[in-house]
Structure 1
């Protein structure tokens, strides 16, 4: 009987040791999986931040490519000295209206990059507000030197607020598009 107990005892010990080492392996495996998941999340977060900053530059460049006629018109009608003639103001106004419509169309044509798919709805809503801002500006251009464009300004502010929310959720400082979109 003693002869049978020794192999039984050794078999039990082997199983016990194997079970313990299996638990250690699964714990290490879980830690490795957790680390890989965390690294993947950090990588995704960095890609999103990078895509967001690149897209910000694209939006600014898209607007600035055609909006200078708007600022030219606004500054020309506000001049005290060397004020352009009524004909020149009318020409500048037509150019500004065309420019504002072009900016609105170009903004509507922007594609939200794949890296920002998780925020696509929010970004698209913001872009819609930006496009509406320029459409409204085109429709309401005034020859008055101190004309206010309240509706257009509110739509632009809504664009900035929506984009700021996306930036803050991504862990970035909210940008000031108004500072970058002025020529």
Structure 2
């Protein structure tokens, strides 16, 4: 797919953005943006305290804290690299719609980092990351698609279709609205 096609595809996907408020009301977590922060960019003597605060925020469901802990264990700059922990934190944040966590998780599945490589799973998660605002995920999803046999790409596309159908059905049942009703 060329750049114009990707931009058009992203534009179509972003038409779902006005539906964010409805998604929050309906309880669909796939398209809810992450809020909140923890900071692990501290002096070494303050790292233990910052890590504990970030872990507490993560345990309370803070998707940004989960993402930052994932990055902390993924990059291995201030602690030994631990891909299993990184994967776990990226998964938690991804389930809350954190676009960068989804992007990172998708690339881990694509490259087989901490998990066996899985192009179908990588493609699905990368497309969700793109919907949630990680534009670079479109290019990586295209890269994954080039390496997938046609059957795998069809499976991934079917799964994405099911995810979006479920999402639209949830929106329809929220407050008796249709997904395409004007926002209040």
Short-chain TM bin: under 0.3
TM-score w.r.t. length of structure 1 = 0.27
Larger helix percent = 1
Look at both structures and tell me which one has the larger radius of gyration over its CA atoms.
1
Name which structure has the greater RCO, CA cutoff 8 Å, separation 6+: 1
TM-score w.r.t. length of structure 2 = 0.27
